Structure formats: C-alpha cells, structure tokens
C-alpha cells in the first residue's frame, strides 16, 4: 500500500484516539445497528468518532476484514453530517484504502410522530475493492468479492445514495425501516435495497446509582438487510440477504461498543459476517473548534 | 491517487465546515463573563404542549429513586447545554426559571419527547419513557432561580 494511503487511514485514527481521550464525553444513547438507521440524529455540536470492522467469510475465495472510520457531527438538531474513510484487508491478498463517503441526514418534521421520517443523502467515492457492506443494494452478491484487490481497485465508483428512513419508538422498542436507492454516476441503472431493524434497551428505567453493567446500558435487537435489484430487474432475484442480531453497550465513560454476528439467508450471501465497533461521543466539539480558531467562548 | 487526494480534500472541507458552523453558532452569543439571557419566548414552547400531554401524571411521582436516577441522566445528557446545575448555558436556558418550575410534569415530558428541533434542542424520545419521567422528577426538584456566578459583583 503506498505510504500516502497509509497516512490517509492512520492519521484520522490517531486524531480520533487523541480527541477521544482528551475531550469531554457524553453518555451516548446509541442504537446497536450497523446497517439500519433510526430517526435520532447527533446532538448539535457533538462529534461522534466511530470505528467499525466487518469480518466476512468468502466461499471459493479469501476471507476478508473490512473497516471504516466515521466522523459524525451534529450540525443542528435537524441535520447530521458524517464523513467516512474505508479500507479492507483480504487475507492472502493485500490491504487497500477503498474510498470515502460523505453522508447527510435531515429530519423534516419538528415533532415526534408515530412514524418519523429522515432523509438521507450520501456521496460515495470508492473503488471496486470496497467490502465494508455498510449497505447491500441492487444485485450485490458474494461472488463480486472474488476479484483480486489489484484488479478490483482499478474500478472507480462515484455513487449517490438516497434513503428514506422511517422509524418509530413504542414502549421502549425502536422499529426502523430504511429504503435505499443508489445510482452509480457512471451509466448504471438505479439500484435498490432495504434495511429493517428492531431494538430495545434491556431495562427501561435508569438506575439511581452509577453503574457500568446496568441493564439499561445494553441495547439488543436484530436487523435484516439486502438488495432489491435494480431498475431493470426489481425484486429479490439474484440478491443477497442477511439477518443479524445486534448488541450495543453504552458505557458511562462515553464509549459505546457494538457487536453483531450476521448470517447470509441465501446462496448469494456471505455465509457469516461478524461485525464489531467502538465509538465515543465528544460533547461540544463545535465550540472547541471555534475556540481553537479564536471564536468566542 | 485521485481518490486519496479527494479524501484529503473532503477531510479539509469537513473540518472547515465544522469551524465555520461553530463560529456562526457562537457569533451572536454573549461573552463568557455575561450571564446568558434568553428570549422569554423560548419558554413559550412549554405552552405548546397539547392539553392531553400537559395533564399527564408522572407515573414515577412516588418513586423514591426517581430524582437520583434523573440527576444521573441529567448529568449524562443535559449538562452540556443546560449547565452543571441547570442554570442555563450558552446553548440552552435555565431550568430554574419560573416558567419551567411552574409547568406541569406532562408539559416538561412533552418537551423532552419532542425537543425544540428548530431551536437546537434535540428529540429525547430515544430515552425510554421511564427515563424521561425520571428526568422530569429531577427537573421539578431543582426549585426556583439560582444566582449566576457571572452576575455576582
């Protein structure tokens, strides 16, 4: 991997660790999902730094470990913006930087409703070696990953992705449904996908004592996601589908840990994925940056 | 190589946007030595709670642990904007104000649930209902106005 690629991956990681350890934190009340989104946005002025890993099995090929770093910033109470850097290691092959994404989520309604919509717009600049499986769309299938990294990274993908997130909270449960439409800006048809999620904290009341292992700090659930074909062949034919239990642990120190084993539901899917992630929310990041550049306190 | 350059450019843009946004958010704020002042209209949000919501009874009204649990939740989620003792901060008003202390538990619960999204207060329905009621108990236990340190001679 060229040294500049290493720099692109490693510099944000150091920045993240430095920021995470040296900044005031807030207890993040995060959902446990890896693919699905609910309607809750980042609190205004807060920055959440997140690292996620996906280990996947590959039939007739090499298993892989894909990873990404997210910087999620609450610009306002109705707008969250996020920047990602992605990479992957394919065993017995190589490690490559696979691209970046810029994502924005907008909450159009002022108040809570039974179903709460959020609009999602993302630009992706990645290469064909991308394996993070942050979403599954169109006719994405396991055999796409058989191509060697050297060959796959020659393909440059500029993609716009739109999602409609519909999410509800009822008696402590969160139910969410995401519909996805993605368009490679090269001459490719619109591709579609979905993600469904349900989750609930293990306890609804907070404890009167500070605790790390209290049940209200754990959120468990399940998510299901997959492709829905493209404009020319809409449906489940030749698509991959996954079912994944999820567990999140919101630590009082401001860290959140997540883990999720995922299972392919058909022959086009990877048989097994294991995902894990760690994140930390930094309170008042916007004000800190402002002060750094001489803004008023 | 183009992707790497683009990634670095996007990183720079992201940070620049954060700075500009943070500056603009603070540009009309008073300096730190001055006690934050809020447009009384901010408290009018409480009056927007529908009557049915305003009249809701706190199911944890008699829970002996609710205030202590609410205090911990407040510290975890609210201090950043409302200040350590809820005296108000740069971003959010005092919760000792008569408008808040005189509001019904149901109205405060309604504000927590719905936020005041256009004025910067996020929706807190991601906290389960019992935790929002615990927060309401804590907020109602705060009592009347506190003297701001900045207002002392």
Q: Each residue of B109-142: pLDDT tens digit?
A: 999 999 999 888 999 999 999 999 999 999 999 9
Is residue A297 included in any domain, yes or no? no
For residue A271, the enclosing domain spans 3-292
pLDDT tens column, A196-215: 999 999 999 999 999 999 99
Q: How many CA atoms does the CB half-sphere of A143 hold within 13 Å?
A: 6
pLDDT along chain A (297 residues), means of 10: 50 52 61 96 93 96 97 95 97 96 96 96 97 96 96 95 97 96 93 98 94 95 98 96 97 93 97 97 84 69
> Which CATH topology does B37-151 take?
Cytochrome Bc1 Complex; Chain D, domain 2 (1.10.760)
Query: Does A134 reside within a domain?
Result: yes
Domain limits of chain B? Answer: 1-30, 37-151
Tell me whether B118 touches chain A (CB under 8 Å). yes
Taking the C-alpha atoms of residue A211 and residue A223, their distance in angstroms, rounded to an integer, is 28
| A206 in a structural domain | yes
**Tally of structural domains, chain A:** 1
pLDDT at position B33 over 50: no
Predicted confidence at residue A15, as pLDDT, reads 52
Q: d(Cα B81, Cα A283) in Å, to the nearest integer? A: 9
Give me the CATH number covering residue A151.
2.40.160.40
Domain presence at residue A163? yes
Residue of B76, B84, B90, B114 to mutate, testing the A interface (most A Cβ within 10 Å of its Cβ)? B76
pLDDT at B40: 73
Decide if B1 touches A, using CB distance below 8 A. yes
Return the number of CB contacts < 8 Å for A and B.
163
Q: Compute the distance between CA of residue B130 and CA of residue B120 in angstroms, rounded to an integer.
A: 24
What whole-number distance in Å separates Cα of residue A178 and Cα of residue B50? 30
Minimum distance, in Å, between the CA of residue B56 and any CA atom of chain A = 16
pLDDT computed for residue B150 by the predictor: 47
Find, in chain A, the residue whose alpha carbon is nearest to that of B68: A208
Q: Can you tell me whether residue A223 is helix, strand or coil?
A: strand
Angle between helices B105-114 and B129-141 (to 10 degrees): 130
DSSP-derived 3-state class of residue A198: strand
Chain B CB contacts of A111 below 8 Å: 114-115, 117
> Complex ipTM above 0.90?
no
A74 part of contact set with chain B, CB < 8 Å? yes
- Classify residue A179: in a domain, yes or no: yes
Residue A33 inside a domain? The answer is yes
Helix/strand/coil for A175: strand
The interaxial angle of helices B129-141 and B66-77, nearest 10 deg, is: 100
> How confident is the model over A25-62, as pLDDT tens digits?
556 678 999 999 999 999 999 999 999 999 999 999 99
Tell me how far apart the alpha carbons of residues A270 and A239 are, in angstroms, rounded to a whole number. Answer: 11
| Contact yes or no for A173/A146 (Cβ under 8 A) | no
Could you tell me the pTM of the whole model? Answer: 0.85
């Amino acid at each position: 991997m060229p040294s500049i690629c290493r720099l692109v991956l490693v510099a944000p990681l150091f920045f993240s660790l430095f920021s995470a350890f040296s900044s005031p934190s807030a207890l993040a009340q995060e959902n446990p999902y890896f693919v699905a989104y609910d309607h809750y946005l980042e609190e205004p002025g807060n920055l959440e730094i997140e690292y996620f890993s996906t280990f996947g099995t590959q039939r007739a090929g090499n298993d892989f470990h894909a990873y990404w770093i997210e910087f999620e910033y609450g610009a306002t109470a109705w707008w969250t913006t996020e920047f990602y850097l992605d990479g992957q290691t394919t065993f017995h092959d190589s490690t490559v930087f696979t691209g970046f994404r810029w994502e924005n989520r907008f909450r159009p309604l002022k108040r809570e409703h039974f179903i709460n919509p959020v609009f999602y717009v993302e630009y992706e600049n990645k290469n064909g070696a991308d394996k993070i499986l942050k979403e599954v769309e169109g006719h994405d299938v396991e055999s796409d990953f058989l191509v060697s990294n050297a060959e796959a990274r020659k393909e440059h993908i500029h993609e716009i992705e739109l999602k409609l997130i519909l999410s509800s909270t009822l008696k402590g449960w969160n139910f969410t449904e995401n519909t996805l439409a993605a368009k490679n800006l090269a001459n490719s048809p619109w591709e579609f996908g979905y993600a469904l999620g349900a989750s609930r904290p293990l306890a609804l009341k907070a404890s009167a004592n500070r605790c790390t292992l209290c049940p209200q700090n754990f959120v468990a659930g399940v998510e299901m996601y997959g492709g829905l074909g493209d404009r020319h062949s809409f449906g489940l034919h030749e698509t991959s589908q996954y079912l994944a239990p999820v567990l999140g642990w919101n630590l009082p120190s401001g860290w959140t840990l997540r883990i999720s084993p995922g299972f392919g539901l058909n022959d086009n899917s990877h048989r097994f994925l294991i995902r894990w992630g760690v994140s930390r929310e930094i309170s008042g990041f916007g004000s800190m940056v402002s002060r750094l550049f001489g803004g008023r306190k | 190589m183009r992707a790497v350059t683009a990634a670095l450019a996007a990183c720079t843009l992201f940070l620049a946007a954060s700075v500009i946004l943070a500056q603009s958010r603070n540009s009309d704020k008073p300096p730190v030595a001055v006690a934050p002042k809020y447009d009384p209209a901010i408290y009018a949000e409480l009056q927007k709670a529908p009557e049915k919501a305003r009249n809701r009874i706190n199911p944890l009204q008699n829970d002996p642990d609710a205030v202590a649990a609410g205090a911990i939740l407040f510290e975890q989620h609210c201090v950043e904007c409302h200040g350590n003792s809820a005296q108000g901060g740069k971003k959010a008003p005092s919760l000792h104000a008569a408008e808040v202390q005189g509001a019904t538990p149901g109205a405060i619960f309604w504000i927590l649930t719905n936020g005041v999204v256009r004025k910067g207060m996020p929706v807190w329905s991601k906290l389960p209902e019992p935790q929002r009621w615990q927060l309401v108990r804590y907020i109602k236990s705060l009592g009347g106005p506190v003297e701001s340190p900045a207002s002392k001679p």
